[in-house]
Chains A and B, each alone.
Chain A
């Protein structure tokens, strides 16, 4: 029996082979921490948290899935999409329509909704054959508005502004109707999809995406079919958005077109920018930040609303929520343009190198 050699961290970034460059965990400590993290996430948190906290964690989980997907498109492939709010909505509506009208169980509708959204995303990715940079960004903006319009106007299918319920039939005795059961569904999906993403990124595909981002003409010269990869990136990233949207729909029980507006698209981009472009963990950090920020802001306004003498005042300061949201994005971009992932990296490496930081 061969004994497995444990790896500990080195004092520096010393890669000696390509295999090392490709590993997910540099050390066995990393692996250990991840296992501990997953055990806490699935085994401890759902039992000690109140349903309010579970609600917040669930929201974070849902948005994080979409943000990880968007990060593939923006951070790794370099295509800016302003339509992910709408793609998220497409997933939500696909799930709702599949469950209520076609009677498909919710668990099966989840990946199906993802696939449908991937299709829609790829349709809006088609302009990337010829469009570049800002022009493409604006084409996706148009996509956002067009999808929003369809969701509101196609009343026969989507129920229009009234919205549509999501039926949530149980399969094999597993029903999803409590915060805790959704917690498991969301975070198991989250862990699985993150694992897929991390592994996609370290294969041929991931390297091709990065090559397209850094210089698409050179990538083409190297024999990478750039259009195929751009479309694939749109597809995968919309799949994540659609899957997350379907989870959202199931969790909310009924949906209206309202939440899937341009502001949601912007929130998604804010998440990955604040987290750090081109980093999977960054997308998660950014989601945690944005969701907590908007939660804190609404708690503050609600608190002021309920305290007698400030009620009138609270109504007038409600718009300041938006102000603070904008301000935090602005400050983040000015002071830490590489995002939370960079801060995390610095903190980690200063621990790793301690006490010999040079």
Chain B
């Protein structure tokens, strides 16, 4: 029983972590229909920037946190401006391949600077955050993840559903020429969505770094783990990202706990294939409306 609860808590917090990582990804997909294969590398960029600022430059936590978020916001902006903007109007596969190329660039750069070892942040989360339920102890990192994840997800959910800027972003994803004809600033929408994606990615990169340590390979593989998460939830749904994240998180911890550790890495993909067979647009995704 204790083992079960332990897995449950681990799974749910892992799920929120996945959901948070998926958020930036969904952001870009929602505004420009681009699958960003460089998302894991964006996470890693954020995590390493934070590492540089806290551990090496020894700035105060709050300051370096703010600086990291700003830095990654700018990074997303720059990536859009210099790499994606020239491709507006090209085939989707070109854009996807471009993000693959970007991923390789970032990964190479990070490995060049930081090497392939695992780094650690200095301890900074207050231990009071941890919660003790009658059987198990939930560490403060998990609680923090949970709070941050929920906060961001709610924020973005409301942003897309109700704010004008959010609606403009969705309109661009939906029908770009029509959005242009109504004066939606399409380039600004793209830039903004990449910038926000960079920011959210940095956020989740830091949290991941606190939990698992910071390692280029590990963080960039999380970028691929995002795919089953968002597909399960439906590529463009934020609440779907949470559900997808939690499902994948639970699946992973339970498979790892009860079946075998090697199956753990692969189980999300197996489930993914089955779900796609039954519900081709994920559990919460918009069904494609096709009219000829």
Contacts and interface: CB of A to CB of B under 8 A. Distances in A.
B97 A269 contact: yes
Given A131-B280, A262-B224, A273-B94, A145 B269 contact: yes
A322 B292 contact: no
Contacts of B288: 132
A270 B93 CA distance: 11
Interface residues of B, number: 48
A142 B101 contact: no
Interface string B199-233: 00000000000000000000000001001100100
A143 B276 CA distance: 12
A343 interface: no
B236 to A, nearest CB: 11
A14 interface: no
B88 to A, nearest CB: 11
Nearest to A143: B273
Contacts of A333: 87, 90, 94, 97-98, 101
Contact of A273 (B97, B106, B108, B273): B97
B55 interface: no
Given A139-B272, A270-B100, A330-B102, A323 B93 contact: no
Interface in B239-292: 262-263, 265-266, 269-270, 272-273, 276-277, 280-282, 288, 290, 292
A330 B109 CA distance: 15
Contacts of B100: 266, 269-270, 326, 329
Nearest to B290: A217
B159 interface: no
A305 B253 CA distance: 43
25 contacts: A80-B96, A126-B277, A127-B280, A130-B280, A132-B280, A146-B270, A149-B263, A152-B262, A153-B262, A221-B292, A273-B97, A316-B112, A319-B111, A322-B105, A322-B107, A322-B111, A324-B108, A325-B101, A325-B104, A326-B106, A329-B100, A329-B101, A330-B83, A337-B87, A337-B90
Interface of A: 74, 80, 126-127, 130-135, 137-139, 141-143, 145-146, 149, 152-153, 217-218, 221, 262, 266, 269-270, 273, 277, 316-317, 319-330, 333-334, 337
